[in-house]
A and B are shown apart, each in its own frame.
Chain A
Amino acid sequence: MDDSDERPWWLSRDGDAGGPGETGDAANHESNAQDGSAGSTQGWDLTSMLGMLGSLAGQWWESSGAGAHAGHDDPADHPDCVICMGLTRLSASTASEPVVLPAVRWLPIRRP
């Protein structure tokens, strides 16, 4: 397997997020990048890459449950929420056991 097989998937010309080895010719890509017209004429360019990254970020945001987390008050009440779970674990790992003073036993008062 030569080096071209190990190029990252996001160098694919057709814009699909294919796996390793499914991309086009690396030499062609380099020449396209140098001629200055790649942004408008070729299937893949900086704009589309940014758009793709944005799309992926959106997918991750949706799958993570972060949007739904906005309405969560107490992390302990939402164990299924990824963010709440993280926050709960984080606080559990740093906080020590709370110390509470023993309660006062108030006595009945008699006033002669």
Chain B
Amino acid sequence: MLLASSITPSGAVWAESAARKAISTAHVVDLGDFSDHPLVAEFSESFRVTGASRVSGDLSGAMASVRRTAMLLAAFDVANSRVDPTVVVVEGSVPELVSDACSFSALLQVSAAETPLAQRAKTMSDALAGGDVEWIVVTPPERAAMDSVTVQVAQGCALGLRVTGVVVAPMPRKRDGWPNKIRRSARGLVEQLQDRLFDIPVQRSRAGKVPVLPSRAARGIELRGAGPMSVTISPESASSSGSESDGGHVLSVTIPGLQYCDVEVGVWSQDPSYPSTHIVVRLDGVIARIELDSTLRRCVAVEAVVAGDSIAVSFRADPAQWPEPRASSGASDQADEQADEREREA
């Protein structure tokens, strides 16, 4: 599945066009087409909003969020049942939509994990977080829009979306009477965006035509693993901690465009038997949860270091989660062996 969106409403046409060009055989739908889908009512009825009289503003936003998540779930179901790839044109912010969908899925896992609806939501959130869903976003060559798209791309990468590319369109053209200075300035902004979003293809429209972005689905490549976000786990070195390594670990996350976001980092546990099961990264208000492996689940997060486009989270082993050290049993084994030797000598 490929999601297509735009920073500005007028760019929606370009987004759809770029998606069609990226996957020529695609089945194209609009997310709004699913507003009457039965799943929307079923999903909406799964959530009760309490305290409505006190948070009426939030209630309106919450209901819209539930409906959009349900529509995405319906679109995902349709895409999964088709042989040809599906393009879903989304109005508004894709990272906000995906973040909400993943949060609702997490809520369902906690409250009603065995229900078919929860399992469907989990299949979708796993696909989103696992880099199985591609995304094309369009922005005009305007400074504020470029800042917005940088933040959105960072959010999308943190959520696990595979960003197929950013299209800058429409570019000011000579034949339309735009002066050279403005055209040069627009090209400069595109280059700036390319520098900001390393590893992410950034292409501009040429001669009024949309560029062809390299969609993996179009090339028949099965999407597996994470998107542009890279996550590495390494044992903490003595030099970095300033002391002997005590079994600590460092989780490093690199996200294109991270340094242009307001960043918060935390940990969250879906399973009460572990100190934490996920790293939570909040980028300009959008929350992404990154699942921890079995080793880090048994550790306690200490602090986060943010430098450039990278986040390094240090962990210390949680004594309650690890078995007794083997040193004592090894010593007793050694004593037993010495006793056996003495018996043989005797």
What is the interface of chain A, defined by CB distance below 8 A to chain B?
Answer: 73-74, 95-96, 98-99, 101-112
Contact = CB atoms under 8 A, between A and B. Distances in A.
B60 interface: no
B207 interface: no
Nearest to A103: B268
Interface of B: 48, 50, 53, 103, 106-107, 110-111, 263-270, 272, 276, 280, 301-307, 313
Given A73-B53, A98-B50, A109 B264 contact: yes
Given A106-B266, A107-B302, 20 more contacts: A74-B53, A96-B48, A102-B269, A102-B270, A104-B267, A105-B267, A105-B301, A106-B265, A107-B266, A107-B301, A107-B304, A108-B304, A109-B263, A109-B264, A109-B265, A109-B304, A110-B304, A111-B305, A111-B306, A111-B307
Nearest to B107: A101
B110 A99 contact: yes
23 contacts: A98-B50, A99-B111, A101-B103, A101-B106, A101-B107, A101-B268, A102-B269, A103-B268, A105-B266, A105-B267, A106-B265, A107-B302, A107-B304, A107-B313, A108-B303, A108-B304, A109-B263, A109-B304, A110-B304, A111-B305, A111-B307, A112-B305, A112-B307
Contacts of A106: 264-266
Which of A102, A103, A111 has the most C-beta atoms of chain B within 10 angstroms of its own C-beta?
A102
Nearest to B272: A102
Contact of B305 (A73, A96, A98, A110): A110
A57 B305 CA distance: 71
**Majority secondary structure, A binding face:** loop
**Majority secondary structure, B binding face:** strand
B306 to A, nearest CB: 5
A95 B270 contact: no
The 5 A-B pairs with the shortest beta carbon distances in the complex, nearest first, are: A99-B111, A106-B266, A104-B266, A107-B304, A104-B268
Contacts of B313: 107
Nearest to A106: B266
A109 B57 CA distance: 32
A102 B268 contact: yes
Contacts of B306: 109-111
Contacts of A73: 53
A108 B107 CA distance: 26
Contacts of A104: 266-268, 280
